[in-house]
Amino acid sequence: MRQAEAMANHRVERGRGPRPAPRDGRLDAPAFHRNNGVITAQLRDLLKGPGGDVVEVASGSGQHALAFARAMPEVTWWPSDADAASLSSIDAWGRQSGLPNLRPATLLDVTQDPWAPHPPGMPLEAGLRAVVAINLVHIAPWQAAVGIFRGAGRHLGAGGVVLLYGPYKVDGAHTAPSNAAFDADLRARDPAWGVRDTADLAACARDHGLTLTQTLAVPANNMILVFDQSP
C-alpha cells in the first residue's frame, strides 16, 4: 500500500534505520527527533492567537501532533492520515499523552474530493484555523499538494492558513546539494514523488484562493511555507 510505503520510507529517511515500534502501536520516526523542536517553535509563533481547530494531514507516527498539541493548548489539534497503520500509532501516542486538545486520529486522504474524513467529526464546516502538512508533498504524488489546497480553500475560516514543512526548490533550483540528492532518491523510488518548487505550490494555492506569503528557512535545508487567504 502506497501510504504504508511512504511511512516506511519516512522512517529510513536520511539515514538512521527504523526503530522497533513498541507493542502498543506507537511508531517512532527518527526525523521527528531532529526536526520537531524547530517546527513546533515556528508553528506556535505562526498560530499564536485565540486558538481554533487545526487539521494536520499526513500525521504519520503522530509524534508531531502530540508535540504541537502540548505546545499549543489553546488549539484543538485534529491529526489524520490516509494510512490505517499510522492512525493506530497516532492514537497510541495520543492515549499516552492524555492531552485534552489532541483529538483522535481521522482517516483522511487529501486527494479525495471532497475530503471525506472517517469517522466524521472533524469540524470542517466550522472554519479551520489552519491546515498543516509536515513532510508530505515531496513523498506523495503532486495530487496530494492539489488536494491540500483544494481542501484548505474550502475549509479554512477567515484568517486561516496552510502551513507546509519540508524541502523545497526555489525558482527551479535546489537550495542545497543534499536536497538535490534526496530529490533524485525520491524520484527513483517513485517517479511521481519529488521535491516541489515553491512557485508551483504558490500557483496551485492561488487556484484555491491562497497566497504564499512567507518562506521560512529552517535547519537541514528545509522550509516552512505559509499560505494565507488571498484578500
* Interface residues toward ligand SAM, by CB under 6 A: 3, 6-7, 10, 29, 32, 57-61, 64, 81-83, 86, 109-111, 134-136, 139-140, 144
CB atoms closer than 10 angstroms to residue 91: 19
**Rounded to a whole number, what is the largest CA-CA distance in the chain?**
49
Output the smallest distance, CB 82 to ligand SAM, in A. Answer: 4
* DSSP calls for 45-68: HHT-SS-EEEEEES-TTSHHHHHH
**Cα(34)–Cα(15) distance, integer angstroms:** 12
Distance from CA of residue 220 to its chain's centroid?
17
Output the smallest distance, CB 50 to ligand SAM, in A. Answer: 25
Output the smallest distance, CB 146 to ligand SAM, in A. Answer: 10
**Cα(40)–Cα(35) distance, integer angstroms:** 9
Output the smallest distance, CB 158 to ligand SAM, in A. Answer: 25
Between 49 and 204, name the residue whose CB sits nearer to ligand SAM: 204
Between 53 and 56, name the residue whose CB sits nearer to ligand SAM: 56
Q: Which three cell numbers stand for residue 150?
A: 483544494
Output the smallest distance, CB 231 to ligand SAM, in A. Answer: 29
Between 6 and 195, name the residue whose CB sits nearer to ligand SAM: 6
Eight-state DSSP code of residue 20: P
Between 49 and 116, name the residue whose CB sits nearer to ligand SAM: 116
Residue nearest to ligand SAM (CB): 60
Between 2 and 159, name the residue whose CB sits nearer to ligand SAM: 2
Between 110 and 205, name the residue whose CB sits nearer to ligand SAM: 110
Collapsing DSSP to helix, strand or coil, 85 comes out as helix
Q: Which three cell numbers stand for residue 123?
A: 469540524
Output the smallest distance, CB 37 to ligand SAM, in A. Answer: 13
* Cα distances (angstroms) measured from residue 69 to each of 59, 103, 125, 201: 12, 9, 21, 27
